[in-house]
Amino acid sequence: MTPQGAPGRPGAAERAKELGELTLRLIRMPSVSGSEAAVADFVEERLRRLGFFEVFRLGDAVVARSDFGRDRRVLLAGHLDTVPDTVPPQPAELVDGAVTGRGAVDMKGGLAVLLRLAEHAVRGAEHDCTLVFYDQEEVGSHRSGMHRLSRLHPELLRADAAILLEPTGGWLEPGCQGSLRVSAAFHGRAAHTARPWQGVNAVEVALPAVERCASHKPEVVTLDGLRYPQALQVVGVAAGGDSNVVPDRCVVHLNARYAPNRTRDEVLAELRELLGPDARDLEVTLDSPAAPPSLGHRVLTRLSGLVGERVRPKLGWTDVGRLAQLGVPAANFGPGDPELAHGPRERVGLDELVEVYDVLERVMSG
């Protein structure tokens, strides 16, 4: 999977050293969600110093675009923020062929790959490139820098294809599931619990809908040879106040994960039917669009060919969904075991960093 070094190209050991040291440097810049200014400054300065990018700053999101007049444009993206560190903090170290510390996996390793690609691969790429470094990804999709960019400056995100360097362990995870969260209210009539026959318990009104939703098993959908399971969960039921009052209102919260061949409106119609006629005040509280795998696109086909059989569906939501909504075919591909993300023992191997870097360099070179 890793290409042989070309004449004049740094060898694997040198690439590993550079990527490891850069990852460690990024880890040592704390960037908990909402406090990314220092690392955004570092990225912006490093990109401007190269001299061939047009660089934009929106809050703590940084976008760099090359413009060599090439026929196609590829977008590469990663988020700057991390979740808060564990207590006691995990040491940031480069030891035993790996980098450790908060964000090593999610996703300072991916950021290091992006920066090194900017410095060593963009000028020789077959495509023009857009690099996006954005903030507040870990605190909700509608607070993130990618959301601001897509809403305020969608022209900066226009591209023929995109690769998001979320940690995938070097697997290609094209597209993503959609996520829809809704709430619905069920109404009754309040009464004293000593005389419940004078009221109507809203929890009892809601129970048939809760049972229908809890027992619903959406089908598994296969797209581009990848199996996307779907799921519906009752994630909250809230009712009542005083324990001596029959509750007159019960709110049910649902989370639906749906396959990329379905639309938000189709899923919402299905939820309305499951909730039934007693549901009132239906509200969509989160709407994160699905992204199709798009493996037939030239860039993603090439990426798929380079990783061989290491292709699997993305279970969960990432910003490839937002990019797909803008008409950009997108996939997830980055270094680091996602099972280690946000945990007390984040680590990313130097071999993982080199492998992902080399594959993306080949994708960019055509």
Question: Catalytic positions, please?
Answer: 81, 137
CB 346 within 8 A of CB 105: yes
What is the DSSP pairing of strand 73-79 with strand 161-164? parallel
What is the DSSP pairing of strand 191-192 with strand 221-223? unpaired
User: CA 39: distance to chain centroid?
Assistant: 20
CB 260 within 8 A of CB 331: no
Give the containing element (helix H, strand E) for 46. helix 37-50
Contacts of 362 (CB under 8 A, 6+ apart): 3, 302, 306
Contacts of 9 (CB under 8 A, 6+ apart): none
CB 151 within 8 A of CB 326: no
How far apart CA 154 and CA 339 sit, in angstroms, is: 32
Beta bridge partners of 172: 311
CB 156 within 8 A of CB 63: yes
Beta bridge partners of 256: 180, 232
Contacts of 146 (CB under 8 A, 6+ apart): 61, 77, 79, 132, 134, 137, 319, 322
Taking alpha carbons only, the member of 260, 269, 263 closest to residue 220 is 260
H-helix segments, 177-229: 202-215
